[in-house]
Amino acid sequence: MNELSLSAYILVWPAIAALILLMLIVSVIRDYRAAKENGEDLV
């Protein structure tokens, strides 16, 4: 493997993890807002 492809491979994983974390945070915020509107507890 050359240096460029190895660097790209190493840098892609944190970006994917960050996107998944962002999706989880957005989902929790949506669930929180929906529960608040319905007068329910989040847990």
What is the per-residue pLDDT for 41?
86
Rounded CA gap, 3 and 19, in Å? 25
Among all chains, which residue has been given the structure tokens 């929180």? 32
Rounded CA gap, 21 and 11, in Å? 16
What is the per-residue pLDDT for 43?
82
Radius of gyration of the chain (CA): 18
What is the per-residue pLDDT for 9?
87
Buried b (16+ CB within 10 A) or exposed e, 1-19: eeeeeeeeeeeeeeeeeee
What is the per-residue pLDDT for 36?
93
Is the full-model pTM beyond 0.85?
A: no
Per-residue pLDDT tens digits for 1-43: 789 988 888 989 999 999 999 999 999 999 999 999 999 987 8
